[in-house]
Structure 1
């Protein structure tokens, strides 16, 4: 391989690497112990690592820059735009068209669920005649999913990732809070979809946007009061202390703000039997409060303020007990603000969620991946283990923790009736079943204890050769969605429903697992022949195949190694997968055969690309090399026959030309190289021959056709009409891809480190190029790819694990 030219010097080099009394509680099995306060104080110390994992992330650009030193991406904004003039134009003439491209992108579907750091972010508060909506958030999006209709609605008003959510007691208004300096809380209508599928625009227009003071850096948890008059928000200030803000939300007015705790607070939970009472839980902290003219703690809880236990989750039960879960796996029962009973070692590790059921039963979920079922006598009698034992982050049984079931019915529901579009002649009904699924198991396993009953759940899959695939291709049965017992959200970005009609849970959605341990999602490719198929891979070790038409995960397999890049062969029969340890392997499209595994490098494989004729595979690594392999056949041998050496930093992107004879490449320090597939060392090379080439792909972010994407760019929030400015350089642009719609229109999609996607006309070689900008991801956009149907764009988030399916509108 001969190097033709180097267009850029080294710049911004990236660094490597049923009873209300306690009598029933006391009658529980031997694992339930009643402790005094002094005994609690002398209990074992908490694990600081566990506490840190439960603290919501505080994300800002400074932190991203700090991570850039340790990770394989950089967000430095320093870049000399004059260097772009050194890229010579191709000899082929292009007509300059700087006009705004057609309004192209709309979100069609989001795969995945915000499982990391999130709690109480999964609800289904209303029940419609056509479908039962499930409400949750991911990235900068609040998502309302009608899974039986395979349809989603989105609230897109946030400029920063959403960190918490609350639903009004009427079940028709939602509030979402975000992080960032002066974070905001958005209150918006939950749309009602008619049977005819008519769209409702209420979700696009917020009722109020409440802006917090500059001293706050993040909203942590929020809840509407039982009467619906107030919105209570827990926010973290710059001193890492927590404060409670009380809003009379219908007037958009803050009525009170008080100091809450000198450390992190995880949850705020209202009392469904009281109009004014609520509870806050945090690091070595629990406190019961009441709302009068001001917020103040309940006096009798002061007797228990010397507790040294971190409380993460909690909920009120129909018996009026308050149940809290701790970082050590214990369950605490409180009556009238006083500690009554402690159940030790229920979970191995933090109890991340406590979810009430309608009949005084309740569920607890933990980091150990278990869901434990508690009976009416408040005894644990059964447990379930989810596939892969992911941390359970949210469980919802449809009653808004008792409010929609009529607990404390005398207080009434009255707050949101004055807003347009909230009632529509629609009366809220109970949306939870009688939990017959759980009772059936309990009857068949009566008198069994938690320690002797573990049910491992294979979620709607058949397993063969460690490959998970959907059981059948039939449409989802809508009856299952009307029989929901409860919904479970997991940290691995998956969501499931338990229904009366199925003994096994049904997987609703799944993205990729991006964790606090640094797991990220970078690999993406679309099938070269089948317009409905695309594939992803990430640090969780999974290769996942999705179906665009059905909007669901089709199959997946865990290869037990951190994966970074993936690409289809031109025939679509095979896939090449690059890892973080310098190896790559070839698998068939069914994921069940590893055709070849090759280890020629020592560090991350950032990009792979088959030549258009399928005879070669180019592999770009962290070792600054591009290795070229000869491909014998789809099921044949891969032989390396040359290496491209010359980059002074690791290679990030590679493109082939249409004749499979040339390559262009980008490196981490903003180099653009061109290479010619010539093996004869005596043959002369025209150093400008790359100007005559037509390129098969446009993955390289630094090229003549993308010169106009760099510089200061504005992203307009179509909901709040605010503009946010970003500076784009080759270090803040992670990916790009082009599509040819027709002879007159080609489009270029660009993803940046701030979670934004830009659409330009292609080629975008002028600084005067106009663009459309869209925001949805809660972190860097790792990759973008157009499907071969020319109607769909797929984007993935590096740190949020989101996989978003965008529809190209107004293009023919």
Structure 2
């Protein structure tokens, strides 16, 4: 029992006044109390409720006048006096249903917050001059918040104990020092900690009586197998696309090296790297592969190193340089004339150290500083294993290896000899790429658009083709017949030369959709394989018919949504690109670029199933959203058998939330924007979710507000219902109840709140919803997911979660590139899990497809989409 002075607000015709009245609060009884405190902006009034031992905010009135003196007076709007009785009623046996909600005109407005905040408010005496700190933050209440005869009220996630040294018995609140997960069986409250802040969640009635924290939750029997990776790393890496004798393309994305068989449409994956793969080299035997990675988080193999492995069985042969490299391995090359005994590696450290290794003996032979500027390429000479060349910013070096040491001569950019005498050469800012001609001459492409031939055995220019490209040359490819192809960056062109380095007059230009040429390699026969700066892989036949082999995002993306009735999903990113993928054909169905960056997406739940005979037609169209009436449809000219049939009469609709506060209703079949709306005062739309019946749409904004719309005409018309205001940080996740009546939301300060959808009022007693069934599990806080958080979590560890359609497993994506599987519900601390590597950056989102057969995960900086097969 706690006794203290309670402030009772009385209703008068004049401005409302405060009275002091002695009260008694009994634990576990239903009571209502008011509280008043002052702050830097004036007087603020709070009405708080005690229900089943839980203390919560109910009403907050803002913008009140400061009290004039001991008889505290507060001006309240006439609408409030008219509609609400402010004097506390007698304690009822239970809260009526109407008291579960906050009237919309009295909700607490949220503020933009970059860190955790608390909903606890305090009022204490002037005699106590200590500042009261909000839970787990360094922010203090204003000193004038301490008022005579005050009362301190806190949520149930704080311990309330009587002061032992003050006769006024002002309650004090102390965090649980152990920060261990605890369970209160009487109330069914599970308390765990995020960033040191206690979080209370309410167990369902059928579980609370038999719940036992001491019984651990084992990892699920279900496993994941990486089935497919969408994407390619061409944005910032070079010379990373090769064709193997096995008929496979080999390249890397994220922490995975992909071996892609074009004809059989299948992939194999080398998964031993622990972070970003930055470079690749193919051994002269065309079977052995070396790949280098950057520093990561793995305790055993987190430092930069090189892995040498077999492309036949994907087994690691050697790991070299573990602990020797400083930042990441950016360039690799095998020697050519000695059966590939030596391996050259460049460390992307400040001095860009170049080293020579006897990789079979795992022995470093020598190393030396290369350059303080970036290095873009290094290659052993194909006819002389004692010579290698490196290029980069303001740098072209010819290295000689005598068996023990490396010595270098810099390339001379002074002049070259032509038929009319010596011609001066302007030194380019960058050497961007290099290769060797059949006669052993070095060929370089630079930032000025020049191709320069360097005579074998010298460091002087032998021949130059000036201004081949507008801007830099990103790739040089020597074809099987000795001809040369150059790929431009700024102009996106392919230029063809004969063996004598004479232009043939043949050029091809890539569309803006594909981006600039990053690398070119010779495929089977006369087929060319092209990697682009927009992380796409293209193929070009003898007639230069260019078609995409692999689509990908080129910038970080968070948007991921599954089709409600088909094996399809959609992604959208900061590159303004939205792609609809088919998980069965493993291809992009279509791609579209918008004027705004896309951050979130959701399918309208009552959709038609998109059925095809055979496989989906690959994407071959691209339009801007300003041309919404254009003929932007799926290409039916592809030789794949293509047919779309509609099971229902309405179209395939999605909602896209953008970084500018706009949200778009988009028709996937007609490829057109149906409607564009704007919410959140220009702030980013963080998440969107339809109710299961499709009658409502909820949008969580960066402005801390959830906007709720009534959906009419099968997803074509939207009328705003209201705004859910109460969070003090941006909205991260939204879930709907199965009956479509309630919403739960998680914000950036790790707070979970509940709302009624039809009137946007906050449910202030979450315990009353403990038995409610939820249609989805994307909220990362709740009794169902309490076990996904590490004991030392800072709140940013887990970015996303999703449960399977059978509700027996839960998948999470975290900040360390891990995809994890838990048993569901994950309601035990330190729950065991299965973890899977593949991403090299934070995992931004995860979702199970509609039938649970596959899990999709998306990476942030690695821009990769990983498709996992769910194995039971």
How does the TM-score come out when normalised to structure 1? 0.73
Question: 1:328 offset after TM fit, Å?
Answer: 2.4
**2: CA distance between counterparts of 1:512 and 1:110?**
12
Report what 1:366 is aligned to. 488
C-alpha displacement of 1:85: 4.8
> What CA distance in whole angstroms lies between the structure 2 residues aligned with 1:736 and 1:303?
56
Q: Which residue in 2 is equivalent to 1:377? A: 500
**Where does residue 488 of structure 1 map in the other structure?**
530
State the alpha-carbon separation in 1 of the partners of residues 443 and 116 from structure 2.
49
Equivalent residue number for residue 139 of structure 1: 254
Provide Cα deviations, 1:686-707, integer angstroms capped at 9, x if missing partner: 5532212111111111222111
* Aligned pair partner of 1:789 in 840, 851, 854: 851
Q: Contact between 1:14 and 1:669, CA under 8 Å: does it hold in 2?
A: yes
Shift of 1:395: 0.8
Aligned equivalents of 1:788, 1:773: Cα separation in 2: 22
Is 1:803 equivalent to 2:865 in the alignment?
A: yes
Alpha-carbon distance, 1:151 to partner: 1.3
**CA distance in 1: counterparts of 2:749 and 2:764, whole angstroms:** 26
Please report how far the alpha carbon of residue 600 of structure 1 lies from its aligned counterpart in structure 2 after TM superposition. Answer: 2.5
Alignment partner for residue 603 of structure 1, among 673, 677, 683? 683
Pair 1:273 & 2:383 matched: yes
Q: Tell whether 2:707 aligns with 1:588.
A: no
**Who is 1:231 aligned against?**
343
TM-score by length of 2: 0.68
Counterpart residue number, 2:289: 174
- What is the CA distance between 1:307 and its match in structure 2? 4.8
CA deviations over 1:422-469 (Å, ceiling 9, x no partner): xxxxxxxxxx42x4xxxxxxxxxxxxxxxxxxxxxxxxxxxxxxxxxx
Answer whether contact 2:357 2:363 (CA < 8 A) is retained.
Answer: yes
The aligned counterpart of 1:773 is 835
- In 2, Cα distance between equivalents of 1:315 and 1:385: 22
Higher relative contact order (CA 8 A, sep 6+): 1
Kindly report structure 1 stretches of 4+ aligned residues shifted beyond 3 Å.
1-6, 8-12, 78-85, 94-97, 212-215, 297-309, 678-681, 683-687
For the pair 1:125 / 2:237, whether they are aligned, the reply is no
Deviation, structure 1 residue 680 = 9.9
Larger Rg: 2
Aligned-residue offset at 1:99: 1.4
Using a 3 Å threshold, how does the CA distance of structure 1 residues 779 and 229 change in structure 2: closer, same or farther?
Answer: same
Aligned partners of 2:225 and 2:565: how far apart in 1?
Answer: 24
Q: Which of 184, 194, 219 is the aligned partner of 2:305?
A: 184
* 1:666-681 correspondence runs (5 A): 666-679=746-759
CA distance in 1, matches of 2:268, 2:738: 40
Q: Could you tell me which residue of structure 1 aligns to residue 205 of structure 2?
A: 91
Q: Distance in 1 between matches of 2:708 and 2:276?
A: 40
Report how many aligned residue pairs link the two structures. Answer: 622
Correspondence for 2:694 among 609, 614, 617:
614
Bigger drift between 589-598 and 773-782 goes to 589-598
Contact 1:568 1:576 in 2 (8 A): yes
Distance change (3 Å), C-alpha of 1:649 and 1:807 = same
Q: Which runs of 5+ in 2 are unaligned?
A: 1-99, 118-191, 296-301, 416-425, 608-651
Matched, 1:730 2:771: no
Give the alignment partner of residue 527 of structure 1, picking from 563, 572, 582: 563
- Out of 377, 387, 394, the residue aligned to residue 519 of structure 2 is 394
Instruction: Give the corresponding residue for 1:71.
Output: none
In 2 relative to 1, CA 663–308 (structure 1 residues): closer, same or farther, beyond 3 Å? same
- C-alpha separation in 2, matches of 1:387 and 1:300: 38
Indicate the SS of the match to 1:706: helix
CA contact (8 A) 1:672 1:703 kept: yes
2-structure distance, mates of 1:334, 1:526: 54
How far the C-alpha of 1:679 sits from its partner, in A, is 3.2
Q: Kindly state the Cα deviation for residue 503 of structure 1 after the two structures are TM-superposed.
A: 4.1
1:301 positional shift = 4.6
Q: Distance in 2 between matches of 1:390 and 1:148?
A: 25
User: Counterparts in 2 of 1:466-477, with a 5 A limit?
Assistant: none
Distance 1:366 1:613, change over 3 A: same
Are residue 351 (structure 1) and residue 473 (structure 2) matched? yes
Judge conservation of contact 2:239–2:519 (CA < 8 Å) in 1.
yes
Give the Å deviation of 1:293: 1.2
SS of alignment partner, residue 770 of structure 2: helix
Distance in 2 between residues matched to 1:99 and 1:487, nearest whole Å: 46
Instruction: Tell me: CA distance 1:321–1:282, structure 2 relative to 1, closer, same or farther (3 Å).
Output: same
CA distance in 2, matches of 1:665, 1:525: 18
Cα shift at 1:14: 7.9
* Counterpart contact for 1:97–1:761, Cα < 8 Å: no
What is the aligned partner in structure 2 of residue 289 from structure 1? 399
- CA, structure 1 residues 686+87, in 2 after alignment: closer, same or farther (shift >3 Å)? closer
Shift of 1:80: 4.0
**Residues 282, 184 of structure 1: alpha-carbon distance in 2 compared, 3 angstrom cutoff:** same
Tell whether the 8 Å contact from 1:698 to 1:736 is kept in structure 2 after alignment. yes
Deviation at 1:768, TM superposition (A): 3.4
Residues 266 and 686 from structure 1, CA distance in 2 versus in 1: closer, same or farther, beyond 3 angstroms?
A: closer
Would you say the 8 A contact 1:9–1:671 is kept in 2? Answer: no
Aligned to 2:804: 739
| Superposed CA offset, 1:91-142 (max 9, x none) | 3427776112125111000011111211111001214xxxx11100000001
1:222 aligned residue: 332
Q: Give 1:288 deviation, angstroms.
A: 1.2
Change in Cα spacing, 1:143 to 1:728, as seen in structure 2 (3 Å) is: farther
The equivalent of 1:256 in structure 2 is 366
Contact 2:193 2:199 in 1 (8 A): no
Give 2:583's aligned residue.
548
SS at match of 1:700: coil
Once the 2 structures are TM-superposed, how far is the Cα of residue 615 of structure 1 from its aligned partner?
Answer: 0.3
CA distance in 2, matches of 1:325, 1:685: 66
Deviations 1:353-388 (A, max 9, x none): 111112221111122222211122312322211121
Q: Which of 728, 752, 770 is equivalent to 1:691? A: 770
- Please identify which structure carries the higher helix content: 1
Alignment match, 1:517:
none
Q: What SS does structure 2 have at the residue aligned with 1:707?
A: helix
Is 2:432 the partner of 1:309? no
My pick for the range that moved more, 645-654 or 345-354, is 345-354
Q: Distance in 2 between matches of 1:591 and 1:163?
A: 40
Supply the distance in 2 between the matched residues of 1:154 and 1:356 (Cα, whole angstroms). Answer: 28
Instruction: Note the 1:311-460 alignment, pairs <5 A.
Output: 311-336=431-456, 337=458, 338-368=460-490, 369-380=492-503, 381-388=505-512, 390-398=515-523, 432-433=524-525, 435=526
Q: CA deviation at 1:754?
A: 1.7
Is the Cα–Cα contact under 8 Å of residues 601 and 688 in structure 2 kept in the other structure? yes
